[in-house]
Amino acid sequence: MSAQADSQRAEPLHVALSGYEHEWPADFEAFVARELIARDRALVVRLADIGEAPELVGLNDVSAVVVNVARLGLKGILALRECRRISPSTAVVVVATTPTRGLKAALEGGATAFVSWPASPEVMRKALRSGKER
């Protein structure tokens, strides 16, 4: 069975993406549009601020919260921890889009996956489902 067939049979992802299009690299945005939205039929909600994530996770069935490590400060770490507390099955994906030392901050925030961008679509899909594996 192909990965595409598995992806189409799986429940669509509901992704909360922290930051708007101009805050992410163009190739990451292309991945979101081409792979997640068009191919996987994921529902993507943009968060202006990562501090909005816990409320969204508490009110909805969110598969994954995605944040750029470059924008992950103390407020973001606390918000991600709260997301994990509210919904342990929600993946918390921290993406490094530039060379950075963000792994420690990601782990402190309860990240279920830390991805260095660019990454393959398979790596990102696995990361976006990493909450359910725990």
Q: pLDDT tens digits for 33-75? A: 999 999 999 999 999 999 999 999 999 999 999 999 988 899 9
Is the pLDDT assigned to residue 32 strictly greater than 90?
yes
Cβ-proximal residues to 41 (8 Å cutoff; 6+ apart), any chain:
12
Which residues share a beta bridge with 68? 95
- For residue 25, CA distances in Å to 20, 96, 108 come to 11, 11, 24
Tell how far CA 24 is from the center of its chain.
Answer: 13
53, 79 in Cβ contact below 8 A?
yes
Say what the pTM is.
0.89
Show the domains of the chain with their CATH numbers. 3-128 (3.40.50.2300)
Q: CA-CA distance, 72 to 91, in Å (whole number)?
A: 16
Q: pLDDT tens digits for 72-122? A: 899 999 999 999 999 999 999 999 998 877 888 898 889 999 999 999 999
